[in-house]
Structure 1
């Protein structure tokens, strides 16, 4: 590496300190060699240090692993991506019978199923927890028709994980070990707390550095976000997607664009099968991020350069930390310029906001959009509904126009800007795209 190991150990510590991150682990595959660094503490109360073999919750980065499990079964002829899910799981159904008949594994892996994506239902610690979760999906509503839009869907990945169980005959946790961990020799990748506790494990902290009161998510949402791993294991998993053979015969099939995003400002312009897809400075970028209760993960892969970067943290201003880290790393390693995060323009943009105001709603969330006091911008207020009351927190964002349909807002002066995109379809339907979700306008 150009700047050397000591330089990046120092920069990791400095970037973590500047973003209020209690502890961080960084793994890099570059130039055909692995590199690892760690800084800070696993727990602010105990002061236990982060080591390169410490385990962090990788959250939704787990979805790339689940997509890989499904693709392994597809390559072996056990399922087809465009076969109805109900043909694979006879007891699967959602509230809309037409959606039940139409949903395929491809819809699940590309977040285009349209079903309520945030069913965080605890169905217990038993080996039947995914089966019971899928039975509970019978009450899930459609946010939009199957295949009509992209909207981040945790529920769909749990269903995908249950398909893996049904076709392998073992629990998702065991299938993960047999399909991926053991073939790749991953010794520090686990899903159950009793296994994670055998290693040094991080606990989550909020943005102010306080330890969170709950350690992890319920087992029932495992395929959507329950893997705990050291950074080097995540890098090894991603590296196996760079060439045919270590896992998949055709890993590039996961990178093929499946859907173009209406809001391309949250991490990617398109979505593949499990991967978010983008292009930075002329280079293809595969990525995924993950957020659990006070822990955050980011995985970036540049196939053309053969480089993998994994950053795991346990609190603080994670988005700020991640963006600064990858920006510095890729500039130093490859001279690649990472696009700046979307922010307000230098001068005010005049927009007719009348057609944008109103109520947008999906299962679990109601969004009220009103004109700002001066009439030049918008105010967005999100309120959790139904099962998410008490789990998700209300938010209010004052939005600044970037163009006629794109706005940015942030919760406070120190946070990063969130992008909000308003979409009007040719048939008159309207959607609000924010935080990966598509929310239809209801009035």
Structure 2
């Protein structure tokens, strides 16, 4: 696989990548490319990459450890654990539960990236800022990816353990599993060979990582072998007595074509060739990671990349590797249909908006165009994009960024009360204005 990994990073213009997998009782590790195109330092199997939102499964596991200790349940209201907790909607403040946070069903606007400093109180201060967060959707009505919810979950960990999230992570997970190459803070990461992200065009990112306040949602840096060890712990019961509780479906994902069909507790759930697959992906500033676990076969795969067409790259790795190891057919990416689909463009046009993003759908003579603009703290790092939307059926569309081999999927749908939404990038975005 080492030679093939080198071929794939060249094909998908990825500067560097590392791969580890556990199969039939053996760990296999591979690396290719460079950590940083400016320095030319080569990737090795013990290099640390930012695993981004894969971190969320670790935070969910921390809370499940506390649940097994009787400190909380999935249905405990957040306000019982954090009496100072507040969001804009007072009913949500009273009713939102730990389960809502860990299954992305709280409806709380999820992309508040707020720098509250480098101090040990950064997550506590982030919680205070949540008081102004409005609802993306009514509590429990649908699934929408919520970084904010996992930072709130991290604050629950802090409150119940009496430690900052980073230290609680170490005592609950890292030390018990003997993970020597998993860290959260840059001053620790730089003691190792560490990857730098790369933006479109191949230049290194102007900022290395996210602010510390986002820790519980996405700040873990790790070598793939450590990520595999974490995945194995969920098969072997090393951290939890019953880790399979986290694999129980909590909500259907409105767009099942992107990452999976359902969300569990922390994990994304899917099925390949009749086998349950639990996974999670992560994207930070110019870096991307994936973790897959197949409970039936015991196979665990982790791969990280630092730029290029990294999503298409990791999908290609999974497609080839799982076919070879377990004979599984990975869900293919959705693509345009062979025959064009006729639609009424007026049904979809308008402005869809949530914290962190404004999406405008316009009609250009029967063909839809999607304009996506980042807003807030990350706006300076992401240029607005305009993409042509190609219908697959009357609610499902695909679009492709220039030069990207992969198609993105998007689903237009309504909540039970008839409110129109667009599901894109595992996020539900409400329609604010009609064309």
- Specify the TM-score bucket, using the shorter chain as the normaliser: over 0.9
Q: Give the counterpart of 2:363 among 357, 371, 375.
A: 371
Q: Give the counterpart of 1:436 among 407, 415, 426.
A: 426
The answer for the alignment partner of 1:408 in structure 2 is 398
Q: Is the 8 A contact 2:113 2:376 kept in 1?
A: no
The answer for the alignment partner of 1:335 in structure 2 is 327
Q: 1:442 is paired with a residue of what secondary structure?
A: strand
Q: Determine the C-alpha separation between the residues in 1 that align with 2:225 and 2:234.
A: 15
Q: Determine the C-alpha separation between the residues in 1 that align with 2:83 and 2:404.
A: 49
Q: 2:120 is paired with a residue of what secondary structure?
A: coil
* Alpha-carbon shift at residue 429 of structure 1 (Å): 1.4
Listed as ranges, the gaps of 5+ residues in structure 2 are none
Q: Is the 8 A contact 2:112 2:355 kept in 1?
A: no
Q: Is the 8 A contact 1:20 1:208 kept in 2?
A: no
Q: Determine the C-alpha separation between the residues in 1 that align with 2:40 and 2:351.
A: 46
Query: In the superposition, relative to structure 1, how do residues 209 and 383 fare at CA in structure 2: closer, same or farther (>3 Å)?
Result: closer
Q: Is the 8 A contact 1:85 1:92 kept in 2?
A: yes
The answer for the alignment partner of 1:218 in structure 2 is 211
Question: Is residue 324 from structure 1 mapped to residue 316 from structure 2 by the alignment?
Answer: yes
* Alpha-carbon shift at residue 345 of structure 1 (Å): 0.6
After TM superposition, list the pairs within 5 Å mapping 1:84-123 onto structure 2: 84-123=77-116
Listed as ranges, the gaps of 5+ residues in structure 1 are 1-7
**Normalised TM-score (structure 1):** 0.95
Q: 1:354 is paired with a residue of what secondary structure?
A: helix
The answer for the alignment partner of 1:148 in structure 2 is 141
Q: Is the 8 A contact 2:161 2:168 kept in 1?
A: yes
Give the paired residue count.
433
Q: Determine the C-alpha separation between the residues in 1 that align with 2:65 and 2:386.
A: 42
Q: Give the counterpart of 1:81 among 60, 67, 74.
A: 74
Q: Determine the C-alpha separation between the residues in 2 that align with 1:208 and 1:379.
A: 24
The answer for the alignment partner of 1:69 in structure 2 is 62
Q: Determine the C-alpha separation between the residues in 2 that align with 1:80 and 1:428.
A: 32
Question: Is residue 43 from structure 1 mapped to residue 36 from structure 2 by the alignment?
Answer: yes
Q: Determine the C-alpha separation between the residues in 2 that align with 1:154 and 1:262.
A: 18
Q: Determine the C-alpha separation between the residues in 1 that align with 2:163 and 2:390.
A: 50
Q: Is the 8 A contact 2:258 2:426 kept in 1?
A: yes
Q: Determine the C-alpha separation between the residues in 2 that align with 1:291 and 1:19.
A: 16
Cα deviation code 1:69-109 (max 9, x no counterpart): 01000111011111110110111101111110011111110
Q: Determine the C-alpha separation between the residues in 2 that align with 1:423 and 1:161.
A: 31
Query: In the superposition, relative to structure 1, how do residues 139 and 425 fare at CA in structure 2: closer, same or farther (>3 Å)?
Result: closer
Q: 2:236 is paired with a residue of what secondary structure?
A: coil
Q: Is the 8 A contact 1:254 1:273 kept in 2?
A: yes
Q: Determine the C-alpha separation between the residues in 1 that align with 2:54 and 2:239.
A: 17
Q: Is the 8 A contact 1:372 1:398 kept in 2?
A: no
Cα deviation code 1:284-324 (max 9, x no counterpart): 11111111111110111111010001001111110111111
Query: In the superposition, relative to structure 1, how do residues 129 and 84 fare at CA in structure 2: closer, same or farther (>3 Å)?
Result: same
Q: Determine the C-alpha separation between the residues in 2 that align with 1:386 and 1:44.
A: 29
Q: Tell me how large the CA RMSD over aligned residues is.
A: 1.2
Q: Give the counterpart of 2:158 among 129, 143, 165.
A: 165
